[in-house]
Amino acid sequence: MTNSSKNEKRRHKEQLYNLFSQIVGAMANPHRLELLDLLTQTARTVEELAAEARMSVANTSQHLQRLKQARLVLNEREGLYIRYRLADPAVVRLWLELRAVAEQQLAEVDRALDAYRNRRHEFEQISAGELWIRLRNQEVILLDVRPYPEYRAGHLPDAVSIPIDELERRLNELPEDKTVVAYCRGPYCVYADEALEMLAADGRHAVRLEEGVLEWQQAGYPLED
């Protein structure tokens, strides 16, 4: 093989890695990762994402454009609004794998999670397998405390929807004679912890499912919509 051919192959190889780096570069920003995480729950408008992520609409739009350029998200116009969604289920798997690698390789992740969910070790937890059995035996009430749009996009079987900002005034809607299992967006979401605090203060027996919809589905359990 001539030097010219070798150099040509080298350029093509570098082009491949350059394309791979576009995905990494688009994700290499904490705000964009949070937007991807939010979009794993359901499609949202720019305004909705900005409110959830506590960013300006302008900044949110810029971050979404970067994700779109890398073809990680797609958008469509709905009247005056533009709604974004993940481009492919593979993006969900990529996000879950990135989290798993960070958890395994970076001890700081666990410490940061302790700081964010500062009471997480105080709460009783239930595994997905045990919850599945107890749901089938009608032994527990499953409470989804995510916002309504996320619940409507897909939820665990037989889950009751009471968003966290409505829970305190709607506690009387939950039966007092059954254990309440609260869940939210998964291990990096604090909503279920807040729900357990309210339920405990009301004298209820409540436990947390660490998994959210993504983890539940990845484990092979069904969803409802």
Direct distance between the N- and C-terminal alpha carbons of the chain, in angstroms, rounded to an integer:
58
Q: What is the pLDDT of residues 188-208, one digit of tens each?
A: 999 999 999 999 999 999 999
Q: What is the pLDDT of residue 79?
A: 86
Q: How far is residue 137's CA from residue 191's CA, in Å, rounded to a whole number?
A: 26
Helices of type H across 123-186? 128-136, 148-153, 164-167
- On the question of pLDDT at 127 being above 90, the answer is yes
Q: What is the pLDDT of residue 136?
A: 93
Q: What is the pLDDT of residues 148-202, one digit of tens each?
A: 999 999 999 999 999 999 999 999 999 999 999 999 999 999 999 999 999 999 9
Residue 225 structure tokens: 């919509």
CB distance 180 to 174 below 8 Å: yes
CATH of 115-218, one of 3.40.50.300, 3.40.250.10, 1.10.490.10, 3.40.1190.20: 3.40.250.10
Is 184 catalytic? The answer is yes
For the domain 3-94, what is the CATH code? 1.10.10.10
Q: Indicate the domain borders of the chain.
A: 3-94, 115-218
- On the question of pLDDT at 73 being above 90, the answer is yes
Q: What mean pLDDT is reported for the chain? A: 94
The string of DSSP letters for 83-118 reads EEEES-HHHHHHHHHHHHHHHHH-HHHHHHHHHHST
Catalytic-labelled residue, pool 184, 199, 207, 209: 184
Q: What is the pLDDT of residues 203-221, one digit of tens each?
A: 999 999 999 999 999 999 9
CB distance 180 to 190 below 8 Å: no
Instruction: List C-alpha distances in Å: 190 to 52, 75, 118, 197.
Output: 13, 28, 9, 11
Task: Mean pLDDT check: name the lowest of 8-17, 82-91, 113-122.
Answer: 8-17
